[in-house]
Amino acid sequence: MVAKLEYIWLDGYKPTQSLRSKTMVRKNFGGKLEECPTWSFDGSSTQQASGGSSDLLLKPVALYPDPDRKNSFLVMTEVLNADGTPHETNGRATIDDDDEDFWFGFEQEYFLWKLDTNLPPGFPVGGYPGPQGPYYCSVGAKNAFGRDCVEEHLDLCLDVGLNVEGINAEVAAGQWEFQVFAKSAKRAGDQTWMARYLLERTGEKYGYAIQWHPKPFGKLDWNGSGMHANFSNGVMRENGDKEVFIKICERFGQHIPRHIDVYGADNNQRLTGEHETQAIDKFSYGISDRGASIRIPVSTIEDGWKGRLEDRRPASNADPYKVAAAIVKTVKEAEAAVGAL
C-alpha cells in the first residue's frame, strides 16, 4: 500500500529538546520497521548542525500505526551523524541496557496550556483558581479542566499500541498525568516520547500547548510537574534481599550530580524540599516517603523485598532516555559493589 510515514525525532534545543517530525510517502509499504529507510534532515534548522555541513540521519527504532491519519504510521527515530555514529543530542544511544533486564515506569505530569490566555484551563485571566486540593483525581466542571483532550490522547495511545497504564487529573487545575511502562529502558523511552508527541498533536485540535516546565508558576504555592521514574531489574525483582535495595539507594546518594544533571532543566524550582519533594542538593530515601529522593514502595517490602524503587526527582521536561541511562548505570554499580563484598 501507499503509506505516510511520520518520522519523529528530538532536536538540539537547549536546555530542553523539542519534538520534530516530517512525512515520507512510501509505496508498497508492508507495515514493518525494517522497511523504514534511514532518512536525512537539515540539522542546521534544528540546532544540531552548521549550515556548511547540515545533513544528519534519522534511524528508525520503533514503528506504530497512526489511527489519526489514513494509511499512516508513526516512526520513532534517533539522530545520527552523517557517518552513522550517534549525534551528541541522541540520549537513546547512552542507555547501557542491551539485555533488556531493566523495567521502567514513567509517571509523566504536565499542564495543558491555553494559547489565548497563556494559562492552564481553569485559571482565570489575571488571577488564580482556588488552592490546590480538589483537583487531584477530580470530576465535575468546577475542578476538572481539559478532560476531552486528555481522554482523546489516552485513546490514541492505546490505539497506537503504547503501554499507557493510566491517566489522572493532578493536584493543580489543568494539570494531568499519564503513566507508561515497558520492559526495556529504550522501549520505555520510545513509548514515553511517542506519547508526548501524540499529546502535543492532540492539543493542536483543542488550542492547547503542552507545558512541560517543572514549575511554571515559580515560587507560588502550587505543586510542580515531575516524571517519577519507577525502575527494577532481575535482581531487584527476584532476590528478596533488603541489603540490595539499601545499597542501591546509598549508591544513588553518592551520585547526585550524575542524576540531577539529566533530570530536567529548572528542576531546582521544583525540588525545594516542599510539595512532596526533597531539596535538589540533598538526598534521602524512605519507605512510602513521597518527600524523599527515592521512595521504597510498601509493595516491595510486602513482597519480601522484591520489586521496584521510585526515583521522584526527574522533572516533567526530562529526557526519559537520559534518565533511564543514569539509573541503569548507578544500579549496575551498586550491584557490582554488593557482589564484591
pLDDT tens for each residue of 143-156: 999 999 999 999 99
The CATH class of 3-89 is alpha beta
The pLDDT averaged over each successive group of 10 residues in the chain (341 residues) is 96 97 97 97 96 92 95 98 97 88 97 95 89 93 97 98 98 96 97 98 97 88 91 96 95 97 96 88 94 96 97 98 97 83 41
Contact (Cβ atoms closer than 8 angstroms) between residue 232 and residue 102:
yes
Say how far apart CA 265 and CA 318 lie, in whole Å.
7
pLDDT at residue 288 in the model: 92
The pTM score is: 0.96
Listed in sequence order, the DSSP H helices in 184-273 are 185-206, 234-238, 242-253, 256-260
The CATH number of 233-341 is: 3.30.590.10
Tell me the torsion sign for CA atoms 184, 188, 194, 198. Answer: positive
pLDDT at residue 340 in the model: 47
C-alpha grid cell for residue 187?
Answer: 522501549
Residue identified by cell 525502575 is 231
pLDDT at residue 171 in the model: 94
pLDDT at residue 341 in the model: 41
pLDDT at residue 97 in the model: 78
- Ordered by start, the domain boundaries in the chain are 3-89, 100-211, 233-341
Say how far apart CA 80 and CA 202 lie, in whole Å.
28
The CATH class of 100-211 is alpha beta
Say how far apart CA 127 and CA 119 lie, in whole Å.
10
Query: Is there a common fold for 100-211 and 233-341?
Result: yes
Say how far apart CA 103 and CA 25 lie, in whole Å.
35
